[in-house]
Amino acid sequence: MAGIMGMEHGSSEWFQRVVRASSRAAFRRAYRQVRLDPEKYLHQLRRHLKRPIHSWQDLRELSDEELKLHGDKVIRSSAKLAALEGMGFGLGGLVAALPDFGILAAITVRMLQKLSLTYGFEYSTDDELAGLWLAAASAAGLDFGCDYLEKQAMERLVPRIVDQVALRAGAEVAEKWAARVVPIVSAGAAATLNYWFVRSWGRRAQRHFLDRRRYLRLPAETGPYLLPSASAS
């Protein structure tokens, strides 16, 4: 019995290591390769919102409630896509975990980009790109203090945040995906867990962008914008 429990514990640790490594590789790749065309998305927003939007500043003038409706749609559609992807790869059980994570990371990063643009935050400059990945960190429950951010050079800051986000994502997924080791049966579990993962991260990122919008309305002497506490969920 002890030998069997030891084997199960060893298999669990091995699986967690594999998932975390896969998560880091997937998010690094998504950071480099997944990029939504901001101008094209601005045209889509103008059509969907039926408002005369010509710049990202115009979006910031709209109400939180109006933009939240569209943000909710972005999260729902991304979560459904992740569920469908999980259903397909879930049929392969544990063997399919690695290619699955590559697609899951791409779906998650693309959703975060859509949410960032929806709330009027572009990511064409280094500072804006850092803001996007700080939103990802907030979604992952990470809390980077102001002192830490000020001490980091911009070219090193974002890759470090990406790695921390990836490790947190891998830890979350490793805890939830134990059911994937059983082929066929794991297909439904994979779909459900992919849906849960993308939806929960989308909700947290959405709160981050709403908080940033509210901060911009405050007096200039308020001070720098800080990430919400990691305890917020």
pLDDT tens readout for residues 41-82: 999 999 999 888 888 888 888 999 999 999 999 999 999 999
Residue with tokens 């007096």: 219
pLDDT (0 to 100) of residue 186: 58
Residue 231 placed within a domain:
no
Residue 74 placed within a domain:
yes
Residue 174 placed within a domain:
yes
Per DSSP, the three-state class of 225 is coil
Residue 12 placed within a domain:
yes
Per DSSP, the three-state class of 157 is helix
Flag residues of the chain having pLDDT under 70. 1-12, 88-99, 145-155, 177-189, 218-233
- Beta-carbon contacts of 5 under 8 Å, excluding residues fewer than 6 positions away, are none
Residue 232 placed within a domain:
no
d(CA 42, CA 57) in angstroms, rounded, equals 11
User: For the chain, what percentages of helix, strand and coil (3-state, to nearest 5) are there?
Assistant: 80, 0, 20
Residue 134 placed within a domain:
yes
Question: 7's torsion region: left (phi>0), alpha (psi -120 to 50) or beta?
Answer: alpha
Residue 228 placed within a domain:
no
Task: Please give the residue range of the domain that contains residue 87.
Answer: 2-222
Residue 16 placed within a domain:
yes
The total number of structural domains that make up the chain: 1
